[in-house]
């Protein structure tokens, strides 16, 4: 599984802490981690939590990533921005129980975490525990197990509802503020990572033209 990491500007100083914790859990499980930035507060390309959502939509809809890990000060802004995108199902994860239940019940493709609120002593251990509870278990199994069937049914209904209420991602890209879109894709490794992994020719072609 390809996991994309996105860090916004207010928490860019913690980028390496989050990246290291994610790699420490995901890579031994056979997953790859692609860090789309930010990498440091001094980065020329600055991401807001709104841009986090736009990037998550691009990466997941183009199948450049199978799962997105993001966040902000409280995790809520990034969650809201991500859930505004077609095909993105983002949960707010604060502790390992949240991570486990999100994976088992909701089986989403994106999580948002608080990297300021409650981010104190041993925060990196909480990050690792959250990632472990999410990625080391088969997702969507259900909890409790006897409710697995109804949970799977509801996930399908939610997916259909989101499909009916959202436009295709390519239409979103063409209609959003183009300066905002350019800024979201301006990270130093975006083009290197995205175009090598994207499986959607139309989205790739549009972004190549935009960024040319």
Q: Where are the alpha helices (DSSP H) in 27-75?
A: 49-61
Distance, CA of 148 to CA of 166 (rounded, Å): 27
Q: Which two tokens stand for residue 174?
A: 């063409």
Q: What is the pLDDT of residue 83?
A: 98
Q: pLDDT by residue (tens digit) across 51-83? A: 999 999 999 999 999 999 999 999 999 999 999
Whether residue 90 contacts residue 46, with contact meaning beta carbons closer than 8 Å, is answered with no
Q: What is the CATH number of the domain that holds 175?
A: 3.40.1400.10
Q: What is the pLDDT of residue 201?
A: 98
Q: What is the pLDDT of residue 142?
A: 93
Q: What is the pLDDT of residue 47?
A: 98
Residue reference for tokens 């507060």: 41
Distance, CA of 29 to CA of 35 (rounded, Å): 17
Give the 3-state secondary structure of residue 68.
strand
Q: What is the pLDDT of residue 86?
A: 98
Structural domain harbouring 113: 2-211
Q: What is the pLDDT along the chain (212 residues), one digit of tens a residue?
A: 999 999 999 999 999 999 999 999 999 999 999 999 999 999 999 999 999 999 999 999 999 999 999 999 999 999 999 999 999 999 999 999 999 999 999 999 999 999 999 999 999 999 999 999 999 999 999 999 899 999 999 999 999 999 999 999 999 999 999 999 999 999 999 999 999 999 999 999 999 999 99
Q: What is the pLDDT of residue 168?
A: 97
**How many structural domains comprise the chain?**
1
Cut 0.85: pTM above it? yes
Mean pLDDT rounded to a whole number for the chain: 97
Whether residue 199 contacts residue 62, with contact meaning beta carbons closer than 8 Å, is answered with yes
């Amino acid at each position: 599984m390809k996991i994309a990491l996105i860090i916004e500007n207010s928490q860019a100083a913690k980028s390496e802490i989050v990246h290291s914790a994610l790699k420490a859990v995901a890579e031994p499980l056979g997953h790859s981690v692609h860090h789309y930035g930010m990498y440091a507060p001094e980065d020329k390309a600055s991401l807001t939590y709104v841009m986090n959502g736009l990037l998550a939509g691009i990466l997941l809809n183009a199948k450049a990533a199978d799962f997105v890990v993001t966040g902000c000060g409280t995790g809520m802004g990034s969650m809201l921005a991500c859930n505004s995108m077609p095909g993105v199902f983002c949960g707010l994860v604060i502790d390992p129980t949240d991570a486990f239940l999100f994976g088992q019940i909701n089986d989403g493709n994106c999580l948002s975490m608080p990297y300021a609120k409650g981010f104190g002593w041993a925060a990196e251990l909480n990050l690792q525990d959250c990632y472990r509870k999410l990625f080391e278990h088969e997702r969507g199994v259900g909890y409790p197990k006897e409710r697995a069937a109804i949970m799977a049914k509801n996930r399908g209904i939610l997916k259909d509802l989101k499909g009916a209420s959202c436009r295709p991602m390519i239409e979103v890209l063409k209609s959003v503020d183009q300066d905002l879109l350019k800024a979201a894709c301006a990270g130093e490794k975006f083009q290197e990572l995205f175009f090598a992994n994207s499986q959607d020719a139309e989205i790739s072609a549009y972004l190549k033209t935009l960024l040319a």
